[in-house]
Structure 1
Amino acid sequence: MGFKLENTAPNTARTNVRKENSTSILQKEISLFGSAFSNKKKEDFYTEIHVLLKAGVNLKDALALIQENQKKEKQQLFFKEMVDALVAGKPFSEVIKDKKEFTEYEYYSLKIGEETGTTAKIAEELGKFFARKNDQRRNVVNALTYPIIILVTAILVVIFMLRLVVPMFQDIFTQNGVELPGITKFIISASDFIRDYGWWVVIVILVLIFSRSFYSKNDWYKEKKDSILLKTPYVGNFIKAVYMAQFTQAVTLLTASKVPVLNSIDLVAKMIDFRPLKNALKQVSIQVMAGNSLSESLKSNKIFDHRMISLMKVAEETNQTEFIFERLNQQYAIEVQQKSKLLSTLLEPLIILIVGILVGVILIAMYLPMFKLGSVLG
């Protein structure tokens, strides 16, 4: 995204911005689909705000520059409302609070930045926060994309065999009156089901996919889905590591801004979308308010591992909470990268093995009666 920096006030600001332009972040355009900010857009937004503030551009002009570079009218209107609110005398944090696209976590972070005169630094940290969050999401997508492609291809191959290959054998067996073994009868029943109800199954799957935006907002659905994910072998630990990395990074940012740990946990609990961790953080907050130490409160929830509990005990004894959370975040980030690579490595051969077994079972089921057919013809 290229800013027209010649429209800003000081020459020194222009010079500094030209240096910052080497980051290439500013070459990307922020685009709003409807009225929502994705994490990727937030990463770009906060990074650009930081660069402009650091270059000496005031906040109003920074938002105005971003507004000018929007191509769609809705996008321009979104930022114009923010600029108008600033001109009317509202603090930046209050402007953010009034926009449903932003969270309480962002609001309180920026409010602290305004009170301490570190808005540029907070914007930088928020940009890094969403950058890491996006990286973690990409790790998940990269780990699952190829295995999912293989799985879909495998399902199509099996459906092809059941729908076209098996009926040909079935006709031969029927014409010659061959007695079928149990496994062959089962495969033929599966073929008949695909023939009679296959399109209905496809329609139901498509309806579930397209209606996901409706039922995914249901608390019961979220609780069940996240609970099943957490209990899934290996995948559960991987998903947990992703959210633990987000949790520790968010608390690191807030504690660095001198927000009390208890308040940080409350804010992060509102931001985290993984129900087992969200519920655990709420319980931790209640226990800390009741007089328990943070390490003891974490210990009572199974989702927190021994590493975190032990380091929290050290943090309480040494008053190094910010440092400990930062170290934990680095460890979880590395764990996410390692687990994503291993997950992809494990899933690919596993899916191929399952496909091979399914195809083998179908072939065996079809060829077993052929031996009886040979004896009948002989």
Structure 2
Amino acid sequence: MNRKPSIDIHTLKKQHTQAAPPGNQAHPLMKQLEALLTREFSLFGKPFPDKIKESFYLELGSLMDAGLDIRTALQLIRDEQTKKAPRAILSAVLEKVINGSSLSTALRENKSFTPYEYFTIEIGEETGKLNTVLQQLSVYYQSKIRQRRQIIGALTYPIIVLSVAFCSVFFMMNYVVPMFADVFRRFGGNLPFLTRQVLLLSHFMQAAAGKLFLLLLTAIVFISISRSKPWYKKYKDLLLQKMPVIKNIVSKIYLARFASTMQLLLGARVPLVQALGLSKQVMGFYPLETALEQMEQDILKGLPLHESMSSKNIFPSKMVALVKVGEEVNELELFFKNLSDRYSGDLDYQTTQLSKFIEPVIIIVLGLVVGVVLIAMYLPMFNMGNTIR
């Protein structure tokens, strides 16, 4: 009688963590802040977020590689899950599998999983490469999470500095400058132009503080309500494409995601037209989704993939050239993998450089603002001293 191997699911997670590429070393406090900002909260987000999907596919593929059947593997993963919502989802999937459904069918009937996931898993089941597809899905979500963390990590420090700067200026304008204004009124006389402008700004901020706070609160509520609406996503993405520096980074993020998605789908032997359609559903970036929709129609009309891509502004000429070579040698999967690695590397470099550039700029601007306010307040003092002499 064959015994099933003993599997420690925590060992799998540890090995996965050790295998992950090391990021830039940062101060422990900054790491904690980045972790907080990049954490996915089920209360406001998905009940089965990308981080859990990454672990789920990694563990399921590893357990099945170790010889466990899919029911036992799912049960083991479900039992290890401590959060209520993911545990309920895994229980529903497990129940359907026990009742005779395939894994792809069980995922298809659950709203927490995308067509991209259950379609590729279905192809893996049909071709006998389910374990490979599961591992590739884990790598895909790992890459997706890393890209998001790169951006948030690069912006964490600047956001903190900007917040402190805003609070400092607000405090000076509402409490420090009015104290100087009382002194100037007692002494009388004409004030320098710079001082008058700072005092006017201080009066405006005092009068409009409540309205500004209400406006900010309204904007936050509006964005929270509208962020899931298609029209909001459309205009947000179009706006990002027009912002200097940011547009290049955003484009690299989604081009890397597109390339890794196509690599996985083509590796699972998904037909090209269906691969484009599935990629469109998981992009989450309006300009690229529109381009992929048009590319589907072009492929159905008989155009090669590279020709269809060349007519879309979102795809760089180098990417189109590599895809053309991939089509000619019938190795599109390999070339999309190379493109994914290239754009991920570019993204690492650009986010690091952006962070290095933004930090000193913010500090310089903050110093200039504080310096201007101080000079404006002390100029009348110097004039008074000269008058007394």
**Same fold per superposition (TM over 0.5):** yes
- Residues 306 and 323 in structure 2, CA contact (< 8 A), matched pair in contact too: yes
The equivalent of 1:191 in structure 2 is 202
**1:105 to 2:95 alignment:** no
The equivalent of 2:69 in structure 1 is 58
- Residues 256 and 322 in structure 1, CA contact (< 8 A), matched pair in contact too: yes
- Residues 26 and 48 in structure 1, CA contact (< 8 A), matched pair in contact too: no
CA positional deviation for 1:57: 1.1
Out of 31-40 and 170-179, give the one that drifted further.
31-40
Amino acid at match of 1:79: L
| Rounded Cα–Cα distance in structure 2 between residues aligned with 1:376 and 1:32 | 63
CA positional deviation for 1:196: 2.2
The equivalent of 2:294 in structure 1 is 283
| Rounded Cα–Cα distance in structure 2 between residues aligned with 1:321 and 1:24 | 33
Deviations 1:283-302 (A, max 9, x none): 22223333332222212221
Alignment of 1:233-312 (within 5 A): 233-312=244-323
Amino acid at match of 1:310: A
CA 1:142/1:76 → structure 2, altered by over 3 Å: closer, same or farther? closer
Among 366, 369, 380, the alignment partner of 1:369 is 380
- Residues 20 and 51 in structure 1, CA contact (< 8 A), matched pair in contact too: no
TM-score normalised by structure 2 residue count: 0.87
Deviations 1:220-275 (A, max 9, x none): 22122222222221121112111111110010000111112222111111111122
The equivalent of 1:21 in structure 2 is 11
**1:327 to 2:338 alignment:** yes
- Residues 248 and 325 in structure 1, CA contact (< 8 A), matched pair in contact too: yes
- Residues 178 and 372 in structure 1, CA contact (< 8 A), matched pair in contact too: no
Among 171, 188, 211, the alignment partner of 1:200 is 211
CA 1:228/1:180 → structure 2, altered by over 3 Å: closer, same or farther? farther
- Residues 48 and 86 in structure 2, CA contact (< 8 A), matched pair in contact too: no
The equivalent of 1:6 in structure 2 is none
| Rounded Cα–Cα distance in structure 2 between residues aligned with 1:198 and 1:125 | 52
| Rounded Cα–Cα distance in structure 2 between residues aligned with 1:149 and 1:10 | 58
Amino acid at match of 1:205: L
CA positional deviation for 1:355: 1.0
| Rounded Cα–Cα distance in structure 2 between residues aligned with 1:355 and 1:316 | 52
Out of 356-365 and 58-67, give the one that drifted further.
356-365
Percent identity for Structure 1 against Structure 2: 34
Among 344, 349, 360, the alignment partner of 1:349 is 360
CA 1:10/1:176 → structure 2, altered by over 3 Å: closer, same or farther? farther
| Rounded Cα–Cα distance in structure 1 between residues aligned with 2:327 and 2:83 | 50
| Rounded Cα–Cα distance in structure 1 between residues aligned with 2:295 and 2:275 | 12
CA 1:23/1:355 → structure 2, altered by over 3 Å: closer, same or farther? same
| Rounded Cα–Cα distance in structure 2 between residues aligned with 1:239 and 1:114 | 34
Out of 325-334 and 59-68, give the one that drifted further.
59-68
- Residues 25 and 47 in structure 1, CA contact (< 8 A), matched pair in contact too: no
- Residues 178 and 369 in structure 1, CA contact (< 8 A), matched pair in contact too: no
Secondary structure, counterpart of 2:378 in structure 1: helix
CA positional deviation for 1:165: 1.7
- Residues 226 and 275 in structure 1, CA contact (< 8 A), matched pair in contact too: yes
The equivalent of 1:156 in structure 2 is 167
| Rounded Cα–Cα distance in structure 1 between residues aligned with 2:230 and 2:146 | 27
Alignment of 1:37-48 (within 5 A): 37-48=48-59
CA positional deviation for 1:126: 0.3
- Residues 25 and 48 in structure 1, CA contact (< 8 A), matched pair in contact too: no
CA positional deviation for 1:88: 2.0
| Rounded Cα–Cα distance in structure 1 between residues aligned with 2:277 and 2:331 | 20
| Rounded Cα–Cα distance in structure 2 between residues aligned with 1:295 and 1:99 | 35
Alignment of 1:83-162 (within 5 A): 83-162=94-173
Deviations 1:190-226 (A, max 9, x none): 2122222224323432443355331101222212222
Amino acid at match of 2:153: N
The equivalent of 2:181 in structure 1 is 170
Amino acid at match of 2:203: D
CA positional deviation for 1:18: 5.3
Secondary structure, counterpart of 2:112 in structure 1: coil
Deviations 1:332-365 (A, max 9, x none): 1101111111011011011112112212222232
CA positional deviation for 1:117: 1.3
Aligned-pair RMSD on alpha carbons? 2.4
Alignment of 1:64-83 (within 5 A): 64-83=75-94
- Residues 12 and 59 in structure 2, CA contact (< 8 A), matched pair in contact too: no
CA positional deviation for 1:84: 1.4
| Rounded Cα–Cα distance in structure 1 between residues aligned with 2:189 and 2:233 | 51
The equivalent of 2:23 in structure 1 is none
Instruction: Return 5+ residue gaps in structure 2 as ranges.
Output: 18-39
CA 1:292/1:373 → structure 2, altered by over 3 Å: closer, same or farther? farther
TM-score normalised by structure 1 residue count: 0.89
- Residues 12 and 62 in structure 2, CA contact (< 8 A), matched pair in contact too: no
